[in-house]
Structure 1
Amino acid sequence: MLDLFAGPGGLDVAAHFLGFKSIGIEWDRSACETRYAAGLPTFHADVSVMRETRFHEIPASVEVLAGGPPCQSFSVAGRGAGRAALETVKTFIHRLVSGEDESQIDEDLHALGVDPRTALVLEPLRWLLKAIETEGRDPYRVIVLEQVPAVLPLWEVYAQLLRSGEGRLRGVKYEADCWELKTEQYGVPQTRTRAVLVARLVGSGPVERPEATHLPFDVRRGKGKAAQASMLPGGPGKRRWLSMADALDTASGLEGSSIDISRLRTKGRTKFFVVSNYGSNGDPKKRGRRLSSEPAFTVTSKISRNKVYKSTTDYEAARSDRFTIAESGVLQTFPHNFPWSGKDQAQQVGNAVPPRLGMHVLSRALRGNAPSSNELARSVTWPTVPGGTVDELRTIGCGDQSRCPQQSHKVTRTPRRSAP
């Protein structure tokens, strides 16, 4: 599997526990350091540059194209330049497939003056077309893409064109579909909705929506209406969503666990509440709250700003705590001992695809079934990676640093003081 915009490795971690090999492309140096420490093969490079000048370095054995283009310009938490440009971006998708000159398309995109990250949602399509048009390469057998819900209309255009096989697709057709998936319905202890596209070459079998294993969480908690089944401890064929306390308690009890939540326990019971960094209904003064017996808020790059309180008394006295990086990773369903490295670790955690969701999506896309109970059970602990492997991966990924993203290895040095 080739993972574009790979980040610290959410989809790669999912692939590992399912028994598939992966390689990622990531431009952020810190995310690369995490990937090297985790033993994940990586190119420290710009996705566009890799496609334009280094495509030949991607193994021809890659059968799966995956990725989650940066979502900041589409996210409701951002300014939404991408959401405003959705209709325009749709036209660029059609122009790419119809065969228009890509340099002209790039020029027109630049002239729009939109957030440059908005154009990155076109990169998976460009990679797909590149594979089809490159001699000696086979079309990707499976495509898996994810983004914030606002991008679903673009995935629908992708799916329509992939099914058509027209233009630069040269008759290559895919079975394709896309959905909004709620992470808590797949065993992730947080509420987070993602727009997911899955495509398989015609003849590889139908594309099916990953089957939910857990109930949805009612974020309104039944306010203004009768309490829903999602608030009850069971349901036909589905388990109740996983809570923050459930996830952290389980992680803290693992052998050699890096999670210690004793500070959040009262009389042997994990009990706390979280006050979000974000305001409710657009009002920054109205901070949302979640109990430890509920799923977490969407884990974003600002999760370290959320405040954790053991009691109302602590809240009134302004005695707050914070989730550690390891704890934040567990709420994303990364293994408790995942080797977060480099800078901006909260940013890495928040930007990642939750591995547990990735396992359900990839397993359904690649094998046509759900991940096994044994695979899910093993996904809580990451294997130890020898130091020599880390060094080797860093050498492969960064080499002499000349082909890494510009300025990414720049070190700011503090001037030496003169001797007295």
Structure 2
Amino acid sequence: MADGRPWRSVELFSGGGGMALGLARAGFEHRFLIDWNTHACATLRANRGMEWPIRQDDVRAVRWRHMGLDVDLVAGGPPCQPFSIGGKHAGHLDPRDMWPEAIRAVRELRPRAFLFENVAGLARPAFRGYLRWVLRSLADPDVEILPDEAPPDCPGVGEYQVRWFLLDAADFGAPQRRRRVFIAGVRRSLGVTLEAPTPTHSRDRLLWDQWIDGAYWARHGLRVAGREPPRDQIAAVERLSRHALAPPGRPWRTVRDAISDLGPPNGVNGHVFQPGARAYPGHTGSRLDEPAKTIKAGDHGVPGGENMVVLDDGSMRYFTVREAARLQGFPDDWAFAGSWTESMRQIGNAVPIQLAEAMGRWLRGALDRAARIDAVPVR
């Protein structure tokens, strides 16, 4: 806590609330959330409108200096379409690129720390120059440089110590494979160092629990007899079988872990069957006993043959809204505003709550350490 009060935050591009929920669970108190999308803001208001100040607006219209906000953290997920593998790959030339607005918010609010999330595509070689520009601009937000003038890496320069990481949500407890870039920073004057966040879950531990000691199947009341690992897991299982002890940490969470208690779609609380699912090359759905493939938003809510589950009998169907929400970590009482398409778009665009909470706790740990350092009297 800062001066005996909770750590206070502002969030840009809040969407359906994934990062906001995760950061709140990590101990941050939201003082302002903004998003331009009507349905996303309706979702936020329906679920947390009594607790969180929510504004529907274009971030470019916000004058942060004039708002009188004293915040510890600026967070958010700038639109990912300019850098998405499935997009037009226009990068900073795409009018939807909002990284300059994230940087401006840091420049005008001067928080103790910031945390931003984006698609893994931002780390591709095609965008590495722009990523360097983002990092350098966040490190010293008063020094304005053009994106086309991509500077060299200058890790020791600027007001903020900045780190970036490519993380998989499954490694932090989400029942979904979702690789994302996180960019974090803290003021150098706080005197703390940002170490890499430590994963808490692993594929090796899941395979051990499934194929070495059978604890996974027992937990679900299923028989292990007659089951064999999929072909793409055999080598890893053979390697693990040569070890005497289970791998440390927790197992990756699977689709079955996340949704099995819901049962078949029953039309209640977003658990509604949606027809039309079909498999085709590259779009074969998610296995029940692995983390889901990345839940995607797409232009029409569900892109192509993605966002499907392969059931025990080999049939497949779309994940229901409630199942997809579970895979992103949303609680069952979190209601999404809008149609099935709009709900799935909000879910697909969200930061998995487990990952947002893990990163929030990691960054809060740095702020807590800084507060303790600041509290030590000078002799």
Paired residues of 1:2 and 1:66 also in contact (CA < 8 A): yes
Shift of 1:122: 1.8
- Number of the residue aligned with 1:177: 163
1:210 and 1:177 mapped to 2: Cα distance? 11
| Structure 2 residue aligned with 1:35 | 44
Tell me how far 1:228 sits from its aligned partner.
6.5
4+ residue stretches of structure 1 with deviation over 4 A?
161-166, 228-235, 302-305
1:321 aligns with 2:317: yes
Quote how far apart the aligned CAs of 1:173 are.
Answer: 1.1
Q: Secondary structure of the residue that 1:143 maps to in structure 2?
A: strand
3-state SS in 2 of match to 1:296? coil
Out of 100, 121, 126, the residue aligned to residue 104 of structure 2 is 126
Distance apart, 1:166 and its partner CA:
6.8
Mapping for residues 390-409 of structure 1, pairs under 5 Å? none
RMSD: 3.5
Q: 1:78 to 1:339 in 2, by over 3 A?
A: same
Instruction: Provide Cα deviations, 1:144-201, integer angstroms capped at 9, x if missing partner.
Output: 01101122334444334544677369x9611111010011000000101000011000
**Residue 117 of structure 1 aligns with which residue?**
96
**Corresponding residue of 2:332:** 336
What is the distance in 1 between the residues matched to 2:47 and 2:162? 32
Distance 1:228-1:183 versus aligned 2 partners, 3 A rule: farther
Report the CA distance shift for 1:332/1:310 in structure 2 as closer, same or farther (over 3 A): same
**Structure 1's 340 and 293: CA in aligned 2 closer, same or farther, altered over 3 A?**
same
Contact preservation (8 Å) 1:334, 1:355 = yes
Equivalent-residue separation in structure 2 for 1:340 and 1:231 (angstroms)? 42
Q: How far off is 1:350 after superposition?
A: 0.4
Q: Does 2:111 align with 1:140?
A: yes
Q: Which residue of 1 aligns with 2:78?
A: 69
Q: Does 1:47 align with 2:68?
A: no
* 2:66 aligned with 1:60: no
> Hey, what's the Cα distance between the residues in 2 that align with 1:127 and 1:10?
20
Partners of 1:79 and 1:44 lie apart in 2 by 27
Tell whether the 8 Å contact from 1:276 to 1:289 is kept in structure 2 after alignment.
no
Q: Contact between 1:145 and 1:196, CA under 8 Å: does it hold in 2?
A: yes
Partner of 1:243: 254
Q: Which runs of 5+ in 1 are unaligned?
A: 83-88, 90-113, 132-138, 253-259, 265-274, 371-420
Q: TM-score, normalised by structure 2?
A: 0.69
Q: Aligned partners of 2:29 and 2:318: how far apart in 1?
A: 35
- The DSSP-based 3-state class of the residue aligned with 2:251 is coil
Name the SS for the 2:281 alignment partner: strand
Match of 1:347 among 331, 345, 348: 345
Secondary structure at the residue paired with 2:317?
A: coil
The CA distance in 1 between the partners of 2:58 and 2:139, in whole Å, is 29
Task: Please tell me whether residue 159 in structure 1 is matched to residue 155 in structure 2.
Answer: no
Contact residue 83 and residue 121 of structure 2 kept, 8 A: yes
- Residue type of the partner of 2:38? R
Tell me, yes or no, if the aligned pair for 1:66 and 1:143 is still in contact at 8 Å.
yes
Q: Decide which of 150, 173, 179 is 1:193's aligned counterpart.
A: 179
How far apart, CA to CA, are the structure 2 residues paired with 1:182 and 1:69? 18
Which residue in the other structure is 1:6 paired with?
14
CA distance in 2: counterparts of 1:229 and 1:206, whole angstroms: 39
Given the superposition, is the C-alpha separation of residues 34 and 230 from structure 1 closer, same or farther in structure 2, using an over 3 Å criterion? Answer: farther
Q: What SS does the aligned partner of 1:288 have? A: coil
CA gap 1:221/1:143 in 2 versus in 1, 3 angstroms: farther
- Between stretches 160-169 and 30-39, larger displacement belongs to 160-169
* Contact 1:276/1:297, CA 8 A, preserved across alignment: no
Deviation at 1:9, TM superposition (A): 1.1
The residue matched to 1:285 in structure 2 has which SS? coil
Change (3 A) 1:128 1:357: same
State the Cα distance separating 1:221 from its structure 2 match: 6.5
CA offsets 1:184-230 (integer angstroms, 9 cap, x no match)? 00000010100001100013211122210011489x97649832699
Q: Is the contact made by 2:166 and 2:180 (CA closer than 8 Å) also made in structure 1?
A: yes
Cα distance 1:231–1:72, how it changes in 2: closer, same or farther (>3 A)? farther
Of 190, 194, 204, the match for 1:207: 194
Post-superposition offset of 1:287:
2.4
Distance 1:349 1:189 in 2: 14
Contact preservation (8 Å) 2:288, 2:312:
no
Whole-angstrom CA distance in 2 between matches of 1:361 and 1:60: 23
Classify 1:362/1:36 alpha carbon distance in 2 versus 1 (closer, same or farther; 3 Å): same
Code of the residue aligned with 2:186 in structure 1: it is R
Deviation of the 1:80 alpha carbon:
1.9
Match of 2:311 in 1: 310
- Which residue is equivalent to 1:361? 359
Say if 2:138 and 2:160, in contact at 8 Å, map to a contact too.
yes
Displacement, 1:18?
A: 2.2
Instruction: Give the structure 2 partner of residue 396 of structure 1.
Output: none
Are the aligned partners of 1:182 and 1:216 in contact in 2 as well (CA < 8 Å)?
no
| Paired residues of 1:222 and 1:228 also in contact (CA < 8 A) | no
